[in-house]
């Protein structure tokens, strides 16, 4: 098959992927108080990887990111469930959450919330599921 | 607050996820999935004792109080079902260990079963009707994969029907939920119960109730069972047994819960209708069971008959009838698993499901033969096995409520059930032996122990009916007195 001339696409992708990934992390973090969160952040992250699939081909990306995305999804859900169990360990109901200011080095007085851990799980689950679907459909030729 | 209630839901989820991560060690898969069912069983036993001594147990997830948050409610009825689910899951997974095959095991058979069990337990324990929908979906999505796992031709053909019918019923479920929320403004079952009682169950509410009934009838195979015989005979034995024992029963549970807690004000409309549907599914199921001479078809039609019979007991809505319903539901879950596993073993041995092509199997496999015989007697309600007590109570209850036609149909179809399973026994196990050990298609190695456990359970439940009487009565008391449920859920925060 003749390789298409996609210099522009490749060049733009190299820059765009970095921007999308950064934006996905921004979406993820801002989700605690503003629109965003694990689900949307995870989808934006998936969009970046999908762009890489489209431009460089699934095989190339798989060589560089050799992760089993099914396992990523499972670990994500596991993290989310275990944060719920964490509430039980503290003698509170399942899925109980807490937050409070913590004095971190460099960052100073920072507000930390256990809900973010839950969101990390959600993000991983979304990334794992979406990429598994895309890869299994994309591989089918 | 009692965090133990979440146990039956998150134990299978956590273990299932660990198994997805550790994909390649099949020994670990077998061990951990059996362990998960044991842990669920233990949690259920602990809960049973707590409920017996301390009344219904409540858990507000994340500390959000009812009716705002999602509440889990462990009442006696739900926890009895969770316990039996754990027992059946244990036996079916044990059976699967030596029959399901490496291919399916590698493709996440055990995690999927565990997710299915999580969905089933979630449906039993939830106190929020939208959460019930979610748990149904968890269970159904797992079952979609399980029914098509392996990808044989018949499985793919039947799974399309199965997925389609369940998609439609899930869609209707969502529509019914939207109506209900628009009318009452709440989704918490206890809160719904109070609101419907306050505003009265008018015509509009009854229509919504019947829409829910349609949805759950599709899932429970009450009258709308046309998808069931095909779907349940497609997957391998262990999966079919789990489906037959658990999935339809979740639909039954949903009907019982909703029509005893929320829509119980217009018995003449809703419960009479349930009774009519129950009668129709008993008659049609009996026709199917008598007509076919295919083992799988006969026992799948028996599922339909028993669903009709259980809900006949519920339709009577009397103390005795409901008691019989609880007994019979517990019995039916166990005995359907037993019937599917032993019937499936016969097919596995002979390579055919046609009862005319096999005979005299009892000379080669006496244990299997006699256990099938016990299953056959139990399913048709012969004393002292477990079906008897439920059948007596249901029949009495139905007659007490003056549904004579329903009781008559129930008794008549019991005879048909007996005839249909005895037809299998007489044809397959009696007569001239036409197989030898060499011409058999498989062995019973590793397949019999789970069947023995289930047979022991059905005998124990029959002989020990007195022993669980206290629990069954508490379950019935909870079902017949909705205010116990609503008080437990809502009174705790002073509302």
pLDDT tens digits for range B384-443 = 888 899 999 999 999 999 999 999 999 999 999 999 999 999 989 888 887 777 777 777
How far is A116 from A99, CA to CA, in rounded Å?
Answer: 10
Q: What is the pLDDT of residue B456?
A: 94
- Test mutation, B21, B58, B122, chain A, max A CBs within 10 A: B21
How far is B386 from B380, CA to CA, in rounded Å?
Answer: 10
Q: Under an 8 A CB cutoff, do B63 and A81 touch?
A: no
Low-confidence winner among A109-118, B191-200, B284-293, B324-333 (lowest mean pLDDT):
A109-118
Higher pLDDT, B24 or B42: B42
**Whether residues B369 and B469 fall in one domain:** yes
**Whether residues B357 and B474 fall in one domain:** yes
- Test mutation, A67, A90, A94, A129, chain B, max B CBs within 10 A: A94
The alpha-helical segments, DSSP class H, found in B425-492 are: 448-463, 469-480, 482-490
**Whether residues B212 and B297 fall in one domain:** no
CA nearest to B51, candidates B474, B486, B485, B476: B474
Average pLDDT over residues B232-254: 93
Chain A, nearest residue to B17 by Cα: A74
Would B88 be classed as within a structural domain? yes
Would B486 be classed as within a structural domain? no
Instruction: Check if B421 contacts A (Cβ < 8 Å).
Output: no
Would B412 be classed as within a structural domain? yes
- SS3 assignment, position B382: coil
**Whether residues B328 and B183 fall in one domain:** no
Q: How confident is the model at residue A141 (pLDDT cuts 50, 70, 90)?
A: low
Q: How many C-beta atoms surround the C-beta of residue B415 within 10 A?
A: 12
CA nearest to B76, candidates B302, B257, B280, B264: B257
**Whether residues B8 and B93 fall in one domain:** yes
Q: Under an 8 A CB cutoff, do A78 and B62 touch?
A: no
Q: Domain total for chain B?
A: 2
pLDDT for B492 beyond 80: no
Domain span including residue B404: 266-481
**Whether residues B248 and B278 fall in one domain:** no
**Whether residues B386 and B407 fall in one domain:** yes
How far is B495 from B492, CA to CA, in rounded Å?
Answer: 8
Is the omega angle on the peptide bond into residue B169 within 30 degrees of 0, that is, cis? no
Average pLDDT over residues A92-111: 81
Give me the residues paired with residue B24 across strands. none
**Whether residues B417 and B281 fall in one domain:** yes
A106 CA: distance to closest CA in chain B (Å) = 32
CA nearest to B286, candidates B417, B425, B423: B417
How far is residue B90 CA from its own chain's centroid?
15
**Whether residues B472 and B435 fall in one domain:** yes
The residues, any chain, with a CB within 8 Å of residue B222's CB and separated by 6 or more, are B216, B251, B252, B255, B274, B277, B278, B281, B307, B308, B311
Q: What is the pLDDT of residue B398?
A: 94
Would B491 be classed as within a structural domain? no
pLDDT for B444 beyond 90: no
Q: What is the pLDDT of residue A140?
A: 58
Q: What is the pLDDT of residue B493?
A: 53
Residue B121 class from Cβ within 10 Å (0-12 exposed, 13-18 middle, 19+ buried)?
buried
Q: Is the pTM of this model over 0.90?
A: yes
- Test mutation, B24, B61, B62, B493, chain A, max A CBs within 10 A: B62
Is the omega angle on the peptide bond into residue B384 within 30 degrees of 0, that is, cis? yes
Q: Under an 8 A CB cutoff, do B61 and A75 touch?
A: no
Instruction: Check if B6 contacts A (Cβ < 8 Å).
Output: yes
**Whether residues B189 and B44 fall in one domain:** yes
Q: What is the pLDDT of residue A138?
A: 78
Q: Which of A74, A85, A97 sits opposite B62 (nearest CB)?
A: A97
Q: How many C-beta atoms surround the C-beta of residue B482 within 10 A?
A: 19
Instruction: Check if B141 contacts A (Cβ < 8 Å).
Output: no
Would B237 be classed as within a structural domain? yes
Q: Which of A77, A78, A96 sits opposite B63 (nearest CB)?
A: A96
Higher pLDDT, B489 or B444: B489
Would B133 be classed as within a structural domain? yes
Q: What is the pLDDT of residue B299?
A: 92
Would B488 be classed as within a structural domain? no
Q: How many C-beta atoms surround the C-beta of residue B299 within 10 A?
A: 28
Q: Under an 8 A CB cutoff, do B3 and A88 touch?
A: yes
How far is B32 from B359, CA to CA, in rounded Å?
Answer: 39
Contact B288, B416 (CB under 8 A): no
How far is A49 from A56, CA to CA, in rounded Å?
Answer: 10
How far is B113 from B352, CA to CA, in rounded Å?
Answer: 26
Chain B, nearest residue to A82 by Cα: B14
pLDDT, tens digit, 9 for 90 and up, residues B16-32: 999 999 888 889 999 99
How far is B173 from B157, CA to CA, in rounded Å?
Answer: 25
Any idea what DSSP says for residue B97?
Answer: H
How far is A125 from A102, CA to CA, in rounded Å?
Answer: 28
* Final residue of a structural domain among B264, B283, B300: B264
Interface contacts A/B by beta carbons within 8 Å: 50
Q: What is the pLDDT of residue B34?
A: 95
**Whether residues B285 and B225 fall in one domain:** no
**Whether residues B75 and B162 fall in one domain:** yes
Q: How confident is the model at residue A58 (pLDDT cuts 50, 70, 90)?
A: confident
The ipTM assigned to this model is 0.88
- SS3 assignment, position B263: coil
CA nearest to A128, candidates A78, A56, A68: A68
């Amino acid at each position: 098959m003749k390789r298409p001339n996609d210099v522009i696409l490749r060049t733009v992708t190299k820059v765009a992927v970095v921007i999308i990934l950064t934006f996905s992390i921004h979406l993820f973090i801002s989700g605690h108080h503003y629109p965003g969160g694990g689900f949307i952040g995870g989808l934006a992250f998936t969009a970046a990887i999908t762009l890489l699939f489209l431009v460089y081909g699934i095989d190339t990306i798989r060589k560089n990111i050799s992760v089993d995305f099914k396992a990523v999804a499972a670990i994500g859900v596991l993290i989310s469930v275990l944060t719920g169990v964490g509430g039980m360990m503290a003698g509170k109901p399942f899925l109980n959450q807490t937050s409070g200011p913590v004095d971190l080095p460099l960052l100073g007085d920072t507000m930390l919330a256990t809900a973010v851990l839950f969101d990390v799980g959600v993000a991983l689950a979304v990334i794992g599921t979406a990429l598994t679907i895309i890869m299994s459909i994309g591989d089918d030729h | 607050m009692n965090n133990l209630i979440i146990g039956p839901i998150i134990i299978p989820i956590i273990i299932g996820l660990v198994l997805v991560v550790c994909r390649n060690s099949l020994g670990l898969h077998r061990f951990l999935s059996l362990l998960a069912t044991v842990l669920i069983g233990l949690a259920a036993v602990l809960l049973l004792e707590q409920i017996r001594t301390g009344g219904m147990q409540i858990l507000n997830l994340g500390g959000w109080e009812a009716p705002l948050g999602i509440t889990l409610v462990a009442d006696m009825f739900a926890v009895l079902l969770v316990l039996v689910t754990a027992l059946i899951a244990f036996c079916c997974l044990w059976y699967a260990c030596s029959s399901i095959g490496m291919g399916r095991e590698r493709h996440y058979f055990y995690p999927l079963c565990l997710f299915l069990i999580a969905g089933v337990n979630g449906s039993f324990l939830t106190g929020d009707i939208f959460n019930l929908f979610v748990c149904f979906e968890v269970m159904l999505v797992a079952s979609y994969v399980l029914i098509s796992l392996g990808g044989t031709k018949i499985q793919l053909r039947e799974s399309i029907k199965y997925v389609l019918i369940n998609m439609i019923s899930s869609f209707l479920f969502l529509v019914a939920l939207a109506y209900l929320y628009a009318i009452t403004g709440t989704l918490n079952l206890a809160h719904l119960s109070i609101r419907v009682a306050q505003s009265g169950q008018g015509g509009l509410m009854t229509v919504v109730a019947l829409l829910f009934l349609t949805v759950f009838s599709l899932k429970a195979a009450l009258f709308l069972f046309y998808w069931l015989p095909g779907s349940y005979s497609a997957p391998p034995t262990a999966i079919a047994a789990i489906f037959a024992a658990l999935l339809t029963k979740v639909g039954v549970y949903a009907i019982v819960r909703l029509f005893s807690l929320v829509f119980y004000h217009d018995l003449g409309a809703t419960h009479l209708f349930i009774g009519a549907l129950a009668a129709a599914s008993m008659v049609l199921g009996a026709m199917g069971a008598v007509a076919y001479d295919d083992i799988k078809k006969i026992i799948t039609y028996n599922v339909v008959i028993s669903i009709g019979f259980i809900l006949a007991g519920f339709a009577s809505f009397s103390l005795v009838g409901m008691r019989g319903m609880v007994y019979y539901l517990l019995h039916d879950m166990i005995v359907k698993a037993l019937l599917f596993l032993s019937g499936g073993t016969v097919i596995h041995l002979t390579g055919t499901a046609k009862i005319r092509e096999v005979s005299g199997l009892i000379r080669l496999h006496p244990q299997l033969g006699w256990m099938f015989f016990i299953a056959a007697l139990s399913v048709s309600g012969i004393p002292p096995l477990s079906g008897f007590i439920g059948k007596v109570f249901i029949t009495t209850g139905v007659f007490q409520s003056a549904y004579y036609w329903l009781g008559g149909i129930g008794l008549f179809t019991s005879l048909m059930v007996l005839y249909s399973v005895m037809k299998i026994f007489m044809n397959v196990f009696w007569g001239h032996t036409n197989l030898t050990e060499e011409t058999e298609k498989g062995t019973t190695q590793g397949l019999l122990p789970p069947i023995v456990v289930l047979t022991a359970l059905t005998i124990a439940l029959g002989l020990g009916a007195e022993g669980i009487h206290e629990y069954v009565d508490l379950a019935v008391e909870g079902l017949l007195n909705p205010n116990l449920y609503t008080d437990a859920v809502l009174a705790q925060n002073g509302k």
